[in-house]
Chains A and B, each alone.
Chain A
Amino acid sequence: MRRMPPRLALTLAAALGVLVAPTIQANALAQPADQVENAHARALEILARHVEAIGGEKAIRSHTDITTTGRLIVPSAGLEGTITTHAKAPDKILTNVDLPGYGVSMTGYDGKTAWMVDPGVGALIMEDEQRDAFVRSSRLDAELRIEKDYPTIKYVGEDKIDDQPVDAILLVDKNGRESTHYFSKETGLRVAISTLEPTQFGDMPVRYVFSDYKDFDGLKQATKTDQHIGPQTITITIDSVTFDPIPDETLAPPETIQVLVKQQADGSDDEADDNSNGADDDDGDADDDDGDDGDDDDDDD
């Protein structure tokens, strides 16, 4: 098997721009045809070892409701907020990020609709690749479904992450989207992912670095994740993980998204005439054309 030259990814990144590495790396390390099977088998071994390292299939399947709380820090903006994720098997999820001065940003998937509500950007329903990627990562058994979710899985070589020897595996999803996952040779745990992520802002090169794995009721989880995007880093730390049952209501999309879903179902974006929950007139000198004086409370705050 052709091994990845050490530090190749970083060299290429320096030469061609940070974190375009995944695609470049895959091309550079393309396996000869007669080695593909071995590369695939080796990758599966590493993935299986990772599953065992985080607690094993039984532990993964036995936890069907997981609530995680923590902090989100953006050092380059001086921002620190809280993050809460409710996840319920098989794939429902709701994440709240509350940042002072910005408000609560939410993303979720209720088994049907993947959505986002953000105080700044507004509300949107995810589609296409963005939806696929979101739903895939929402599954509590995502670690057990990799062979189903990724038609191409292959071992691409050894590397180092923060001087830690790692095995690199290339995953290609059904849309042809590549991601490279790095697993510690020592522990078997995933320590990084590099990918070109489909987002509402276009494709973004992202590198996730996972550390400080801790055991929560038999499941190991990284309690620190650094997300590197260009020159920026976002750090998420986990303070607590609980496994109490999560009511479906908790995972329901906010009213704003329900309106959009209904509009999609109706095939129309016609607004209702009912202004009973509309906005206040607060300008002081506007001609009030409708006289409504509804509730001020925003659903997403």
Chain B
Amino acid sequence: MKQTRILLLFLASLASLAALSPAGTQPADPSPSSYDLTFETAWRLIRDTHFDPTYNGVDWDAVHEEFAPLAEHAGSQDEIRAIISDMLTRLGESHFALIPSEVADVLPGEDAAADVAPDEAPHPDAVVHEESPAKGAQAPDPEEEVLENESYGGGDAWLGLDVRPLDGRLLITRVEPGSPADQAGIRPGWVITYIGKRDVARRIDSFAHLDLKSASTEIVAWQILTELLSGELGSLARLSVLDADGNSRRLTLKRVPRPGEMAKFGNLPPLNSRLEWSWLDPEKYDIPSDVRVGYIRFNIFMMPASREFERAVYELRDADGLVIDIRGNLGGIGALAMGMGGRLVDKTASLGTMQMRGASLKFNLYPQYATSWGQPTHPFTGRLAIITDAISASTSEVFAGGLQAIGRAEVFGERTAGMALPAAMDRLPNGDVLLHAIADFHTSKGERLEKTGVIPDVPVPTTREDLLAGIDAPLARAAHWAATGEE
């Protein structure tokens, strides 16, 4: 009986990641004989493990009757993937997706940008070319020739800017100091109008007209456009940007390593994990001189971020207030929300319940009074603010919504994506990975996060005007509250 203790952590560890980006991949091993079985396996997995026996009101047998004949005649990996993906959209829920084997099987280290320290030296030749500014939004010269090594997508190197679609435009929300974008003088609040020769506004508009039942159009647009901005290390990207004065600039930038660490977990593809922390500048954020406010920002719930989170909270444990920024955080390993949360509560509590078919699992928080390196410590007990946006999804929503529901955190910013279903990742016969929700999640107040998302206590929209003025409004409001308790 020695081996019989259940290992529930690994169930809680199941990925809860809002969406993946399988764009730009090719079949690894097309084997048409496996397609029928691949379809049947995917259909059965959902039949047997979907948390809702009514399949969200969908007649799952009828779905089989509709798609099985198509699967029988699928002639390529692309075709069977399209059929299964189409089937998954019928459920109208997040966390049903097909991850191509080529994406799922990449190992850490295969990517040229893997494991790069955050303090990578500046890149003196990162700004390759800049044309003279022109007034107003300008389309690229149709005759502009494609440069050698110019590419869009297919790698993890970056230009050093964070973006998000907003009001039909692609707004630059943050520029990494020392990055190619920074060296080119790009600033938050500027707008990217063209990526290469792709008209960004047109793309965003086309996303808005898609009938996406299982994901927010904003997340899909964000993922695809972020993918286009990424690429192989050293590759070139041409951008047209609209600056603060309404001038259009055409820039050619060289991609550099993305700071952070590549993390691989099970069947998930490798994901960049990055966490930063600091004490907030009292002057900049109008914090009284006798008050200290810490700040932690991370992009995904993976082990590297979890380890660094522990260190960050340890250093910031005696702050008066703490701001945790999970804007743009798509989620990750569900169990990590518990571990991180345990460093923020001084009493046992629960983020909520993961309800599977036939079993439920409470996301309990256990206050942490010792570090993993054997140091006595205490949880952070001061004012806790969490910043979210429309890209914050999945485990991010469990974390923010769970802490909000127990009254531990005040949430600032924007409503989250509403894509919060814990999912499993089963391998299919053709080598692809089926991401499929196996549980629903409700906070301790009984609130369902799927579709609804986390609604901020203090809504603070991101606006271009604020960014151009050098103001990160959600952070400013959260920092003020964390420092004073006043909204």
Contacts and interface: CB of A to CB of B under 8 A. Distances in A.
Interface of A: 13, 17-20, 66, 68, 70, 72, 74-79, 83, 85, 87, 93, 95, 97, 99-103, 105, 107, 117-124, 134, 137-138, 140, 142-143, 193, 197, 199-202, 204-206, 208, 222, 225, 227, 229-232, 234, 236, 238, 254-260, 263, 269-272, 275, 277-287, 289-290, 294-301
Given A97-B7, A137-B5, A279-B315, A79 B438 contact: no
Nearest to A298: B372
Interface in B407-429: 424-427
A78 B338 contact: no
A256 B372 contact: yes
The dominant DSSP class at the B interface is: mixed
Given A101-B263, A119-B303, A121-B366, A259 B374 contact: yes
Nearest to B359: A230
Given A193-B4, A279-B373, A299-B372, A230 B357 contact: yes
A81 B375 CA distance: 28
Contacts of B124: none
Interface string B303-322: 10011101110110000000
A105 to B, nearest CB: 6
B2 A85 contact: yes
A99 B10 contact: yes
B71 interface: no
Contacts of B5: 95, 107, 134, 137
Interface string B350-394: 000100111111111010111111111110000000000000000
A137 B359 contact: no
Contacts of B302: 101
B49 interface: yes
A285 B278 contact: yes
Contact of A277 (B11, B15, B306, B375): B375
B2 A118 contact: no
B339 A76 contact: no
B376 A231 contact: no
B373 A298 contact: yes
B13 A200 contact: no
Contacts of B353: 202
A205 B3 CA distance: 17
Contacts of A258: 374
A201 B12 contact: yes
Contacts of A282: 118, 308, 311
B235 to A, nearest CB: 26
A285 to B, nearest CB: 5
A225 B49 CA distance: 21
Contacts of A199: 6, 8
B37 to A, nearest CB: 16
Interface in B48-105: 48-49, 104
A225 B4 contact: yes
A204 B359 contact: yes
A117 to B, nearest CB: 7
Contacts of B14: 76-77, 232
B356 A230 contact: yes
B359 A286 contact: no
Contact of A78 (B1, B361, B427): B427
Size category of the binding interface on chain B? 35 or more
Given A19-B358, A227-B4, A283-B278, 4 more contacts: A18-B357, A85-B2, A225-B3, A286-B277
A197 B375 CA distance: 32
A140 B372 CA distance: 29
B374 A13 contact: no
Given A199-B8, A256-B372, A260-B370, A283 B303 contact: no
A251 to B, nearest CB: 13
A122 B342 contact: yes
A59 B167 CA distance: 74
B115 interface: no
Interface stretch (B27-35, B135-143, B213-221, B264-272): B264-272
B373 A277 contact: yes
A102 B265 contact: yes
Contact of B306 (A93, A120, A200, A234): A120
B139 to A, nearest CB: 39
Given A77-B267, A134-B5, A255-B374, A119 B339 contact: yes
Given A137-B4, A232-B356, A271-B369, A74 B266 contact: yes
A126 to B, nearest CB: 11
B374 A254 contact: yes
A102 to B, nearest CB: 6
Interface string B251-282: 00000000000011111100000001111000
Given A232-B424, A270-B376, A283-B276, A201 B362 contact: yes
Given A193-B4, A260-B370, A280 B359 contact: no
A71 to B, nearest CB: 11
Contacts of A85: 2-3
Contacts of A20: 358
Contacts of B475: none
B75 to A, nearest CB: 27
A83 B5 CA distance: 12
Given A76-B14, A143-B1, A256-B371, A197 B306 contact: no
